[in-house]
Structure 1
Amino acid sequence: MPVLIPPAERSQDTRVGAPAWREAAKAITQKAHHLTDRCGQEAVTMWQPKDSVRDPHVARHLCRAAYILPWRFRVEMLKGGGTLEKPPPGEGVTLWKGKMKPPAWHARLPLPLHRDARALQTAEVVHAHARGARLTAARLCRAQHQINGQLRLLLRQREATDRRLSEVRKGLLINQQSGKLRGYRPKSEKVPDKADSMLTWEKEELKGMKRKMEKDMEKSEALLKALASCRDTLAFCCKERLQAVDLMNQPLDKVLEQAGRHSWVNLSRVPSPRTQGQKTPPPDPVGTYTPECATALYEAKRLLMESKDTLLEMTKNEEDVREQQQEISDRVCASLAQKMRETLELKERMNMTLGLMRGTIHRCTKFNQEMYITRGLIKGPLSKRHLETREKLDRPLVRVYQRHVGTQLPEASRLAQGTDKLQRHISHMEKNLKELLATHKNLTRNLNCKKIGYEVDYNVVRLRLRQRHPHMCYEQAQRLVNDWDPRTPPRVESDAATK
């Protein structure tokens, strides 16, 4: 007979399974669900950006709205009362149709085209390095060309300065020649005058100009060496940069135009209005623009500015020295010409005085000769046979007067007194005539000295005008000074031998 189980007490839980059994199944299910969510989330987030991972503290249905909210266009109020929609700032593609701007995608796992992407990225790096090397080489090459141009300008200015220095040295030789030539003047004409002072002043001024030009030559020589060294450094750096762009056929000048500048050293030039100039990159030891290139370009820029200032200064000094030397030479020639005019005036006065003195000497000589004849006539004849009757003292009338006492006739005493007085006058006339002759001789000698002095000054002026002409070089003037000394007599033997 079947056994009947007594009916259990009626409860609210109608499930038959045990709670432990049910909890175990729920735990397994929950664990599987969490594992599925975690694996799915991790599988998705590995190739999504970091900012796209949802916040665990935000509800699941609100994560997407919170994530897309920054992508929406922003509405701005205008002053007139209207509105203007603008995309959010940042990188990314603007979707104007959807009024959204998603940010740039950055995956954390390599995508299927990762190898091609890395190859493209490597090619971009290589091309960027080549472009940087080409741009740096173009800058270095342009700086080298500008340094070469500055070197040529400096060399030309050095040639002009050297010619001016040669003219100054020739001026010193001309001054020395003038002093030596004026040494030919007679002793009476060697009295120090303003012409000698002007020659001394000219010598001191020319020495100052010579020192000034020599300093310019030394400064330009040092600058020339620095520019040449900088040019060699730029050429070496440019050659190194060009090793990376040997296979690139784009001209270097085109690179500078693409960079927006026609020169890298001369920054004062306005760039082309169609392109915006690129800023100078910072020096990078492992990049294309190395510190050595930066130092070389900075040195080129500094030397370029310094050379421009030096060129301006040398040009100004050369022009000032030329004008000053011309003015000094003209003033010396003017002083010598003034001395010649004064000498000519004195010479004319002396010549007139000599003419008057010559007439006086002739008259005095003639009068003295007549006095000698008169003295002979007064003294009477030398023989008694030449006596006339009226000259004898034993004439009858004279004898009658001689008989009376105290009646001494004055004929003999008066003749004796007249003869003595005439002799004294003749002696005084001879003395005066001697003084006239001595003075005439001295005046003639002074006139000859004045003539020699005038000729010497004229020859000095002529020599100075001829020697300062540009066709007369320094060596010719130097040979003239070395072969000529006024203190020594002319070499007649050598002249005869040459003839």
Structure 2
Amino acid sequence: MQVESVPLGSVTIGPPAWRDGTVRSIRRAERLVRQTRAGPPPRSCSAETAEDKITSDGPGESRDSVCKHQTWRPQTTGATLPGGSRRSPAVPFPPAVPFPPSSWRERCAGASVAVAAEYMRRVREVEARLRRQAGRVTEEGVKLERDRGHLERMLRSIRTNLTVNGRSSEGRSQRPLAAETDPDGADYLLLWEKRELTQLKRDLEGALRTALTQLQVLGESSRRLLDCAGERSRVLELVPRGGSAGGRGAPTCSSPEPTGPLTPECERALESSSLAVRRSQLLRDDVRRTLGAAIGRQKAAHRAVNDGLVKKTAETVGLQQRLTLTSAAARQAAFRKQREVDCIRHSHGRAQVCVCVCVCVCVCVSVSDLSSCLQGPEYSGDVLSREKFSRPLVQVYQRHPGTQLPEAARLVQGSAMLRRCLDSSEDELARLQRTCLQLLDDLRGKTVAARVDAAVVRMRRQQVDRRAVPSFLQEGAC
């Protein structure tokens, strides 16, 4: 509303000084009203006209002192403060404007809210980044923990195979004969398998120690990230959780500052966690390669020992069959030799009887005395009539002196030859019998050895735990 001055009347009442003071008060009030309206900035108190000044020492002097002692307050240009992590000081009001607008407090409060909201938004971004990184660290820890479980299962499998290897060596030491307990190719294969499994056990234990250390590093990194995220979330109690600030958008790049949203501690936690995640990924790749190589070497060693034992069993069974045939042939030869010895002994006994009869006829010695001397047959009935020297033809032929038949000498020579043949045949028979017994003992030893090796192979195949490691690792190791 436009304020207009009312013209004063022409009638003068009272003294002029009283009237002039009143007019000056009215004009001063009109000037103050114009200053409070929107428009060009009013003049300062120093620009007052000379006619507005109070020359007297009256009550109007106290009114004019208001302009002299007026307090000037600063004023901003009306723009909001710049966002971000930096807080810029408020711009002072220009001294030409004595009074701020009526919405100054609201504008100051709005600027403060804008600064706090921008800071909280950036803090929320940092918190979301920290929690996402903590989630990645936790996920990597879960994967590394799974690989650690695979390592432990593989170590249990190797320890089981070492136990099976010891049982195999102990079982093969129970072979019966000394010739069967001498070290052979299967024993050397078992020793090689033991060395191979021991080396694999040392390698896997080293990998397990490294994995456990890396798990501790990941756990510590996750705790640091969560602690930093909890510390950053202390200013987010009045901010709603929804919105774009906590989403998966591209984070605002900002340099770390001690008083900013991204502190140096948070930056160090993020960098160390990223490095730990990369190292964990490389370690998991190494663990996978180590597991694949260990599974392949373990299978190769187990297969080589089993194949060696199977070959040894087959060789023992082949020798067992040959020993069976040879022992049967030796026993048959011993029976033939026994019949031959019996025939030679019978022929030698008959020859002895003939020699006895011949000597008895020649020197007139009784048959009983001669048989007791030469250990011939018990009675003369075993000698045929045509073999006796007392037959009529021999008696008639020997009536003249010097007429001796060569039969007696030849019988003596034949008896000596038969004796030598009998001794030789008896020696051969004894050797055949001893060889047959040795073959039978060897056959029993080979049978027991083949049974022991077969039991060892069966035990090794039963004791192997094929579920000790995952199937995808076994397929990759094949």
Question: Same fold by TM-score, threshold 0.5 exceeded?
Answer: yes
Q: How far is 1:235 from its partner?
A: 1.5
After superposition, what is the alpha-carbon deviation per residue over 1:166-186, rounded to whole angstroms, capped at 9, x for unaligned? 111111111111111111123
Q: How far is 1:377 from its partner?
A: 2.6
State the one-letter code of the partner of 1:325: Q
State which of 188, 192, 195 in structure 2 corresponds to 1:201.
192
After superposition, what is the alpha-carbon deviation per residue over 1:16-43, rounded to whole angstroms, capped at 9, x for unaligned? xxxxxxxxxxxxxxxxxxxx9xx99xxx
Q: Which residue of 2 aligns with 1:136?
A: 126
The 8 Å contact of residues 157 and 468 in structure 2, kept in 1 or not, is answered as no
After superposition, what is the alpha-carbon deviation per residue over 1:398-434, rounded to whole angstroms, capped at 9, x for unaligned? 3333343332222322222222221221111110001
Alpha carbons of structure 1 residues 386 and 361: separation in structure 2 relative to 1, 3 Å: closer
1:97-112 map, 5 Å: 108-109=94-95, 111-112=100-101
Secondary structure in structure 2 of the residue aligned to 1:221: helix
1:287-366 map, 5 Å: 287-366=260-339
Q: Structure 1: which 4+ aligned runs deviate by more than 6 Å?
A: 46-49, 385-388
Answer with 1 or 2: which has the greater Rg.
Answer: 2
Secondary structure in structure 2 of the residue aligned to 1:255: coil
State which of 221, 230, 252 in structure 2 corresponds to 1:230.
221
Normalising to structure 2: TM-score of the pair?
A: 0.69
Alpha carbons of structure 1 residues 472 and 147: separation in structure 2 relative to 1, 3 Å: closer
1:1-400 map, 5 Å: 108-109=94-95, 111-112=100-101, 113-185=103-175, 186-251=177-242, 254-257=244-247, 260=249, 277-380=250-353, 381-383=377-379, 390=386, 392-400=388-396
After superposition, what is the alpha-carbon deviation per residue over 1:368-396, rounded to whole angstroms, capped at 9, x for unaligned? 12222222333334346777765554444
After superposition, what is the alpha-carbon deviation per residue over 1:186-235, rounded to whole angstroms, capped at 9, x for unaligned? 32123333222222221111111111111110001000111111111112
Alpha carbons of structure 1 residues 137 and 392: separation in structure 2 relative to 1, 3 Å: closer
Alpha carbons of structure 1 residues 131 and 393: separation in structure 2 relative to 1, 3 Å: same
Secondary structure in structure 2 of the residue aligned to 1:187: coil
After superposition, what is the alpha-carbon deviation per residue over 1:303-332, rounded to whole angstroms, capped at 9, x for unaligned? 111111111211221122112211221121
Alpha carbons of structure 1 residues 468 and 392: separation in structure 2 relative to 1, 3 Å: closer
The 8 Å contact of residues 188 and 449 in structure 1, kept in 2 or not, is answered as no
After superposition, what is the alpha-carbon deviation per residue over 1:35-72, rounded to whole angstroms, capped at 9, x for unaligned? x9xx99xxxxx9999xxxxxxxxxxxxxxxxxxxxxxx
Q: Distance in 2 between matches of 1:153 and 1:126?
A: 40
Q: Which residue of 2 aligns with 1:415?
A: 411
Normalising to structure 1: TM-score of the pair?
A: 0.66
Count of residue pairs the alignment pairs up:
360
Q: How far is 1:344 from its partner?
A: 1.9
Secondary structure in structure 2 of the residue aligned to 1:456: helix
Unmatched segments (≥5 aa) in structure 1: 1-35, 41-45, 50-90, 92-104, 261-276, 474-499
After superposition, what is the alpha-carbon deviation per residue over 1:66-103, rounded to whole angstroms, capped at 9, x for unaligned? xxxxxxxxxxxxxxxxxxxxxxxxx9xxxxxxxxxxxx
Q: Which residue of 1 aligns with 2:20?
A: none
Q: How far is 1:435 from its partner?
A: 0.6
Alpha carbons of structure 1 residues 48 and 146: separation in structure 2 relative to 1, 3 Å: closer
Unmatched segments (≥5 aa) in structure 2: 1-42, 48-73, 83-90, 354-376, 470-478
Alpha carbons of structure 1 residues 382 and 412: separation in structure 2 relative to 1, 3 Å: farther
The 8 Å contact of residues 168 and 460 in structure 2, kept in 1 or not, is answered as yes
Q: Which residue of 1 aligns with 2:369?
A: none
Alpha carbons of structure 1 residues 335 and 392: separation in structure 2 relative to 1, 3 Å: closer
Q: Distance in 2 between matches of 1:142 and 1:364?
A: 97
Matched, 1:439 2:427: no
> How large is the Cα RMSD of the aligned pairs?
2.9
Q: Distance in 2 between matches of 1:334 and 1:456?
A: 15
Q: Which residue of 1 aligns with 2:426?
A: 430
Q: Distance in 2 between matches of 1:196 and 1:463?
A: 16
Q: Distance in 2 between matches of 1:389 and 1:283?
A: 139
Q: Which residue of 2 aligns with 1:17?
A: none
